Structure 1
């Protein structure tokens, strides 16, 4: 579902315009180890409101770990993580849940909830606040944007992987937070819904949100991200606009596979394809 012509109510209302371009989150000198194994090494990265930042890199590069550090789900072994200039560890859990929403790779729930109940969970942080008056609208808009209205009465465990991913995205959208973190949100989706998810990410950024998305598809990153950050072996290799970062030489070196980078004739954005021998 394209959001280009959608009603403005389908995604969270805009933040004040002065937020756009301001730093939402900052990691400085962050390292993370599991025992003696380094997963992240001295990563410094800022995330701005009004932008989509794509985290890319080979398997095991540290992308999901960095997203977990940004979300506060894991604490770094060293370095600092801040949210709007305040140390992330100082944020109470309920307050943090009202500020950032997280979509994980594994879309599982412990009990046999319906899809509707899973979407409704996105409003839990707002219970007892004036914003709870918006619950019905937020849930309705999120359900529409994620294209899951026909799934709401089905049991979540019985959905396909792609359907679970879209229902989980609806939960994240219903949460209506300033920062949205998405870990491989397109992995289980068909072509139509891959495009839809990234269009939603762009729309969120245009409305002042900060969106951080882990992607494996470099062409999707090139098409929709304002900036791309490449990680390899736990270190930040490059960060910048897609056309500057996604070069044939850099991608071939980081991924260990030769590629060709073309320019999309419609958008001018980079398209990455592997070089294949006949």
Structure 2
């Protein structure tokens, strides 16, 4: 069995009067892509914020590499996990090159800084943003900003990668590119968590899927076992058809539509 990166044990989270996570338990393993799915307000981004330590659970516990997440220093945590958030806002007119270079900040003054140039160049190439290096970040389209932010995450070169809706602003080709990158990172032994709305993308690229609804973990396992027509219909309140992709054999989830 692959080693456990995060162990999430009966985590609950309240924001004001609202319970946004309730008794959530799961392991996140190295060498795997875990997709977090569920309808709007299900708790996906809230769970990710607990993993990033941006929010502290109201109940339960989270550990990373066997140590309580709260025991990690900010510097050590920044060397252990890289985070791509939904909002890619940058307050100042940094160039794309400067934004990606920020990914190397946790390694300043260490022997790992010797690899800065190589890792930055590799990140630009893998995120397909090399041609944007000298453009200012605010001048980029939403999709270009998302890919530059992804390049920053790649340049950080951490064993854990946490991605919140990385495909939301992207065209079809770059959605596939990003999920292929997630698979490559997992293939290199990293633990990758991706929040996704596209269930077919989750089914195509994830090793495991965790489905949330109303702050509860309603299913967790291999895509074919989680993304059944019955469960998706119940959780999302829409009738769907689940078919096998003829190329990969993985599930494809289609809404049932009335003929026009």
- TM-score class, shorter: over 0.9
- How far does residue 73 in structure 1 lie from its aligned partner after superposition? 1.1
Query: 1:5 corresponds to which residue?
Result: none
Query: 1:224 corresponds to which residue?
Result: 205
SS of 1:272 mapped into structure 2: strand
2:225 maps to which of 244, 249, 269: 244
Runs of 4+ in 1 over 2 A off after TM superposition: none
Query: 2:83 corresponds to which residue?
Result: 102
SS of 2:87 mapped into structure 1: coil
- How far does residue 66 in structure 1 lie from its aligned partner after superposition? 0.2
**Is 1:173 the counterpart of 2:154 in the alignment?**
yes
Structure 1 unmatched ranges of 5 or more: 1-19
Query: 2:104 corresponds to which residue?
Result: 123
User: Using the alignment, how far apart are the partners of 1:22 and 1:258 within structure 2?
Assistant: 37
- How far does residue 71 in structure 1 lie from its aligned partner after superposition? 1.0
User: Using the alignment, how far apart are the partners of 2:36 and 2:109 within structure 1?
Assistant: 35
Tell me the TM-score normalized by structure 1: 0.92
- How far does residue 122 in structure 1 lie from its aligned partner after superposition? 0.3
Query: 2:53 corresponds to which residue?
Result: 72
Structure 2 unmatched ranges of 5 or more: none
Root-mean-square deviation (Å): 0.6
User: Using the alignment, how far apart are the partners of 2:67 and 2:215 within structure 1?
Assistant: 25
- How far does residue 36 in structure 1 lie from its aligned partner after superposition? 1.7
User: Using the alignment, how far apart are the partners of 1:228 and 1:90 within structure 2?
Assistant: 28
Tell me the TM-score normalized by structure 2: 0.99
- How far does residue 45 in structure 1 lie from its aligned partner after superposition? 1.1
User: Using the alignment, how far apart are the partners of 2:150 and 2:22 within structure 1?
Assistant: 30
**Is 1:264 the counterpart of 2:245 in the alignment?**
yes
The number of residues matched between the two structures is 259
